[in-house]
């Protein structure tokens, strides 16, 4: 990973390594089960699994950006946004990513890319309308730290196996393969594949959620230290979270599947199970920023 001035986070690095280890182990288990059950098609399974993994790694950022409506903009089209990214990249000593805007009233931002050279930072029109320049820079610094720490690509790869397992589970349940009692072996094979895929999906989901919550706190911390203005990021968090309540539920539902990539979740209900949440609570994030502000004030 290219060095930047974003504060390193050993806790994040260790969690990313652990997550990738277990995700890789689960990936081997899924492929192994399919190879054992479908012995005659093991070559096809290996090629398909490898091809899907490579495609996910190389094209996932483009797919995510397209799905969230990101449109790359030039400095002439969005001078203030480009200016903020320019200042932050110079401050962080990192390559400037592509800059994009998504036409959405949901106030949010996200970053994609498998490395710093292929990264993209995107802000929604709703965010640009609502934030002051210092608040916007805090949010953009948060997103750039995801790129610098490379947790964006880890999250993308980590989520792939869960998606694949979910597809396998739904395909097995909907296809009706093996329901014929005359083909008992096929029925048992389908049940095993479905059960393994369901377990893998659940484990992958929990692993990515645990990593996602920590990486958001890590990005807040890195952004606050880099800019030296944790209060601006805290103000942006408070404003964005408060404005979410004014967004139509229909629009929030459209954004919800991409919560793990966003600066703030589309839904942040207090009753929502924290174990399943993609983000830490607003109170946790503000409390951390308050501590950083106090530390900076003493130094």
In the chain, domain spans: 12-265+274-294
- Sort strands 70-72 and 109-112 into parallel, antiparallel or unpaired: unpaired
Question: Which residue ranges of the chain lie beneath pLDDT 70?
Answer: 1-2, 37-42, 45, 56-57, 60-61, 159-187, 189-190, 193, 197, 257-258, 267-275
pLDDT at 271: 40
Q: Is 143 one of the annotated active-site residues of the chain?
A: yes
- Regarding pTM above 0.75, the answer is yes
The binding site consists of: 142, 146, 216
- Annotated catalytic residue: which of 80, 103, 143, 256? 143
Contact 213, 78 (CB under 8 A): no
pLDDT at 275: 60
Q: φ, ψ for residue 70 (rounded to 5)?
A: -70, 135
| Cα–Cα dist 289/171, whole Å | 45
Residue 103, burial from CB neighbour count under 10 angstroms (0-12, 13-18, 19+): exposed
| Cα–Cα dist 253/107, whole Å | 14
The binding site for Zn(2+) consists of: 142, 146, 216
pLDDT at 189: 66
């Amino acid at each position: 990973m290219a060095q930047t001035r974003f504060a390193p986070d050993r806790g994040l690095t260790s969690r990313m390594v652990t997550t990738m280890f277990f995700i890789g182990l689960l990936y081997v288990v899924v492929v192994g089960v399919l190879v054992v059950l479908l012995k005659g098609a093991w070559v096809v399974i290996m090629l398909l699994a490898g091809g899907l993994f490579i495609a996910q790694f190389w094209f996932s950022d483009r797919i995510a950006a397209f799905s969230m409506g990101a449109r790359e903009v030039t400095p002439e089209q969005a001078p203030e946004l480009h200016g903020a990214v320019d200042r932050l990249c110079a401050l962080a000593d990192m390559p400037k990513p592509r800059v994009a805007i998504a036409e959405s009233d949901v106030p949010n931002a996200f970053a994609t890319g498998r490395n710093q050279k292929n990264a993209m930072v995107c802000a929604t029109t709703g965010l640009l309308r609502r934030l002051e320049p210092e608040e916007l820079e805090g949010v953009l610094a948060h997103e750039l730290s995801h790129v610098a720490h490379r947790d964006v690509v880890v999250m993308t790869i980590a989520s792939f196996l869960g998606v694949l397992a979910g597809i396998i589970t739904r395909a097995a349940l909907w296809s009706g393969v093996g329901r014929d009692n005359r083909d008992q072996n096929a029925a048992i094979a389908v049940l095993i594949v479905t059960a393994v895929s369901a377990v893998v999906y659940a484990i992958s989901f929990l692993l990515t959620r645990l990593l996602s919550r920590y990486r958001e706190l890590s990005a807040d911390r890195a952004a606050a230290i880099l800019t030296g203005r944790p209060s601006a990021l805290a103000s942006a968090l408070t404003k964005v979270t408060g404005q979410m309540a004014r967004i139509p539920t229909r629009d929030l539902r459209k954004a919800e599947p991409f919560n793990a990539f966003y600066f703030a979740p589309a839904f942040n209900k207090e009753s929502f199970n924290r174990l399943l949440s993609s983000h830490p609570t607003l109170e946790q994030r503000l409390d951390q920023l308050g501590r950083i502000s106090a530390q900076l004030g003493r130094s």
